[in-house]
Amino acid sequence: MTKPLILNAFVMNTPSHLSPGLWTHPLDEGFRYNRLDHWIGLARLLEEGGFSAMFIADTWGAYDALAGSMAAAVRHGLHASINDPLLLVPAMAAATTHLAFGVTCSVSYEHPFALARRFSTLDRLTNGRIGWNVVTSALDTAARNLGRPEQLPHDDRYDRAEEFLDVCYKLWKRSWEDDAALRDKRSGVFADPRKIHAIDHHGPHFDVAGPHLCEPSPQRTPVLYQAGASRRGRAFAARHAKCIFVGAPSKAALKRCVANIRKALAEAGRDPLSVPIIAEHTAIVGRDAREAEERRVDMRGAHGRKARSRSCRDGSEWT
């Protein structure tokens, strides 16, 4: 039996994500990132096209690699400005039925008690269609925005991530028993306090008493995405992820990446084939190879000059 194809759209709440400058193309809609109708329309389009999920990237800092300045990123709309991705989800979920949403949130700059509540809320509002892309972040600009002179060392970030998820699991899985919420109007009892438990977590990074403020959501734990490429990142993904997102510049590199992840899954005691690995691709489509190539050339023009407007040969627009 053929496995179903997972189509996972990769987006960001910003004018320009992976293709800097493409927002300048006359037919590109990226510049409308701060309009709710833009996101509702995109969600509906993806659902109609059979996509499984919308995966939303995020960052807490600006890119300043060029001459130590964020001017180039701001000038070209590269993750600047960038809005909160979580706030998009309820509206898109209300406009769709099946499309899932994987949202990036950093364990380096969030607190597990607060984030666990937000994901429980979203899991309820989406009827079990929410996922969390767990990241540790990698920008010093983000650290400075959140009161640190620089980001934590790489492995220290993963130590924090392990404890962060430990706290979240305790809140999501152990705090409320399945039948704690009664909703008994006759007796006036909403929930049985005997079935709601403090977690009393005390660790090197977090002290959380609990209990969780939310009753269990449809999934309890959101679908966990992970995209760590380092040895430590792969090990973290192997322990926690339900989906693993990867990018590679060639088929050979992708093959090595997938093999390393499958090995890490086996070392973690999991079936190496049980976790979907979703590979990043940029697809440019046309009714034939020539039309697709024309579109590729046209879109590449938006990276350094004002691109010319182009429509499909049947008169319909494309983005």
pLDDT by residue for the chain (319 residues), tens only, comes to 577 889 999 999 999 888 888 888 888 898 999 999 999 999 999 999 999 999 999 999 888 888 788 888 888 888 888 999 999 999 999 999 999 999 999 999 999 999 999 999 999 999 999 999 999 998 999 999 999 999 999 999 999 999 999 999 999 999 999 999 999 999 999 999 999 999 999 999 999 999 999 999 999 999 999 998 899 999 999 999 999 999 998 999 999 999 999 999 999 999 999 999 999 998 898 999 999 999 999 888 765 544 333 333 333 332 2
Report yes or no on 308 lying in a domain.
no
CA–CA separation, 86 and 133 (whole Å): 12
| Phi, psi angles (nearest 5°) of residue 27 | -100, 0
Report yes or no on 233 lying in a domain.
yes
Q: Which pLDDT value is given to residue 1?
A: 57
Q: At 247, which CATH number? A: 3.20.20.30
Q: Find the domain containing 225 and state its range.
A: 8-303
Total structural domains in the chain? 1
Q: Which pLDDT value is given to residue 303?
A: 56
Residue tagged 């767990």 (tokens): 134
Q: Which pLDDT value is given to residue 318?
A: 29
Report yes or no on 316 lying in a domain.
no
Report yes or no on 58 lying in a domain.
yes
Report yes or no on 243 lying in a domain.
yes
Report yes or no on 311 lying in a domain.
no
Q: Which pLDDT value is given to residue 3?
A: 78
Report yes or no on 293 lying in a domain.
yes
Q: Which pLDDT value is given to residue 290?
A: 95
Cis before 211 (ω within 30): yes
CA–CA separation, 285 and 287 (whole Å): 7
Report yes or no on 313 lying in a domain.
no
